[in-house]
C-alpha cells in the first residue's frame, strides 16, 4: 500500500470518522480519540497498528495530542505513515 503524504490528509482534518477509517486502511486494529482531562481543551488520540500485515497479533502503539479531536487523529495518522514508510513499505521489519 502506497502511503499518502500528510498534506494529502488535510481535507480530512475535520472528519474524525474518515480519519479513523484511514487508520484502519493503514492497519490499525483499534483507535480512540477523547478529551484529555488534565489539560482541558486538548484531545488525545491513539491507535494500535499491526506490525506485520499477515495477521500477526503484534501491534505498535502510536499517540498524539491536539487542540481538536481531528488534529490529534491527524498527527497519529502522520506518525503511522512515517513508520510504515521507514519499515513496512521499505521492506524492513520494525
> Domain locations in the chain?
8-86
C-alpha cell at 50: 499491526
Architecture field, domain 8-86: 2-Layer Sandwich (3.30)
Give this prediction's pTM.
Answer: 0.76
How far is Cα 32 from Cα 45, in angstroms, rounded to an integer?
Answer: 6
DSSP for the chain reads -PPPPGGGGGGGTT-HHHHHHHHHHTTEEEEEEEE-TTTSS-EEEEEEEESSTTT-S-EEEEEEEESSHHHHHHHHHHHHHHHHHHTTTTT---
Instruction: Write down the pLDDT at residue 1.
Output: 44
**pLDDT of residue 92 exceeding 50:** yes
Beta-bridged to residue 63, according to DSSP, are 46
Amino acid at each position: 500500500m502506497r502511503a499518502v503524504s500528510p498534506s494529502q490528509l488535510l481535507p480530512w482534518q475535520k472528519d474524525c470518522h474518515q480519519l479513523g477509517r484511514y487508520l484502519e486502511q493503514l492497519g490499525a486494529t483499534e483507535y480512540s480519540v477523547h478529551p484529555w482531562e488534565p489539560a482541558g481543551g486538548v484531545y488525545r488520540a491513539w491507535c494500535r497498528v499491526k506490525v506485520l500485515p499477515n495477521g500477526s497479533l503484534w501491534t505498535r502503539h502510536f499517540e498524539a495530542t491536539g487542540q481538536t479531536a481531528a488534529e490529534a487523529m491527524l498527527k497519529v495518522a502522520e506518525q503511522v505513515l512515517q513508520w510504515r514508510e521507514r519499515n513496512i513499505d521499505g521492506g524492513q521489519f520494525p
